[in-house]
Amino acid sequence: MVNSIVVPSLLACNRSDLLPALRSLLSARAFPRFHFDRMDGQFVPNSGLSHSLLRNLRSALAREGLPVPPFEAHLMVRRPSRFWRKFADAGAELVSFHLESDDRAAVLAEEVTRSGLSCGLCINPPTPFDRCVPFLEHFSFLVLMGVHPGLCGQRLLPGVAEKIHRAADYRRRSGLSYAIVVDGGVCAENAPQLVAAGADFLIAGKAIFGGENVQASYGELLQAIATR
């Protein structure tokens, strides 16, 4: 189902518009999850969205009787072990962190998974796919960054489709079952190619929240994928 492919990235939405935007989206469609970016000003220069905001959004949606999809906390931070429990306590069902930020990736993944959350491993554009292979058995999903992390609105970098192909091929050969996710630079023009290459989920921010009508923008993205 095409709906289950596209994940809205809330960092791209103005803070004051977050609840109305989510209300508008949820009134029309079901979502696999919402993507919630947290930064620490060190791994990347900005600070992103807090665990308190995640908790408040979940509570507000529940009070209005709206469906509350799972939230993924994407930790673009230097020491993810210091952050993930705060997001788990705030209601996040998925946590992802960067291979480049913690050389204890397998140990941290086991901690997150034991707590009942799904854990994802992210790799930045310069990081070759081969570097993450030894860790993939510990993760539920692999996030291939389509842009350099930290800023919204960047264009998709070259080489992402090839990384998707490699991740899909290794998954098939290894018998692992991690989902393949692309984060950043996703738009109606490139989304069909990313899905065709083997991506299971596309995380989109500006392509959804950059226009005046979030429902229409989301629909355009889905239509582009459906008619590929």
Residues with a catalytic annotation lie at 37, 183
Measured CA to CA, the distance from residue 204 to residue 8 in angstroms comes to: 5
Could you tell me which residues are beta bridge partners of residue 181? Answer: 143, 201
Measured CA to CA, the distance from residue 135 to residue 115 in angstroms comes to: 19
Helix (H, G, I), strand (E, B) or coil at 112: helix
DSSP symbol at 116: T
Could you tell me which residues are beta bridge partners of residue 8? Answer: 204
DSSP string, 157-172: PTTHHHHHHHHHHHHH
Measured CA to CA, the distance from residue 44 to residue 170 in angstroms comes to: 29
| Contacts of residue 194, Cβ cutoff 8 Å, sequence gap at least 6 | 146, 160, 161, 164, 182, 186, 202
Measured CA to CA, the distance from residue 1 to residue 12 in angstroms comes to: 24
